[in-house]
């Protein structure tokens, strides 16, 4: 079954504020996680990934935090902009170790308030 899920289906954030999107997973064997952004009418777009040997990884305006103790990861977006409006999915490499497969979580819609 699907082990990756999200705490909130929607998140509304003031433009310029930081956004934090959370994700929980259930299989302690999961070792690789990816965040995707999907804008309306488009396919998912890779944002950032993290392996289980790391706690934190930073990109341009985005940071992913991984807490293996509580099986939780988060995506932080700094200085949220209107272009950040999208659905954000966390995904994990199949913990059954099939190389090809990633499993998507349920998704969080991010609304940017003017």
Partner 1 sequence: DTEVTQTPKHLVMGMTNKKSLKCEQHMGHRAMYWYKQKAKKPPELMFVYSYEKLSINESVPSRFSPECPNSSLLNLHLHALQPEDSALYLCASSQDRDSYNEQFFGPGTRLTVL
Q: Which of residues 46-65 bind partner 1 (CB under 8 A)?
A: 46, 49
Residue 85, C-beta contacts closer than 8 angstroms, at least 6 positions apart = 39, 110, 111, 112
Min separation Cβ 14 and partner 1, Å: 24
**CA-closest candidate to residue 16, choices 81, 94, 97, 100:** 81
Measured from the CB atom, is 14 or 58 closer to partner 1? Answer: 58
Q: Which stretch binds partner 1 (CB under 8 A): 16-24, 42-50, 53-61, 65-73?
A: 42-50
Nearest Cα residue to 95 out of 21, 28, 7: 28
Number of neighbouring beta carbons within 10 Å of residue 82: 9
88 binds partner 1, rule: CB under 8 A: no
Chain residues that interact with partner 1, rule: CB under 8 A: 32, 41-46, 49, 89, 91, 93-94, 98-107
């Amino acid at each position: 079954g699907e082990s990756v899920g999200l705490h909130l289906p929607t998140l509304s954030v003031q433009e310029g504020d930081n956004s934090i999107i959370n994700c929980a997973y259930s299989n302690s064997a999961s070792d690789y996680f990816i965040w995707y952004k999907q804008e309306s009418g488009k396919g998912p777009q890779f944002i950032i990934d993290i392996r289980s040997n790391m706690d934190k990884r930073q990109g341009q305006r985005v940071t992913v935090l991984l807490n293996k103790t509580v099986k939780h990861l988060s995506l932080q977006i700094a200085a949220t902009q209107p272009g950040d409006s999208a659905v954000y999915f966390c995904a994990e490499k199949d913990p059954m170790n099939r190389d090809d497969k990633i499993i998507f979580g349920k998704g969080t819609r991010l609304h940017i308030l003017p």
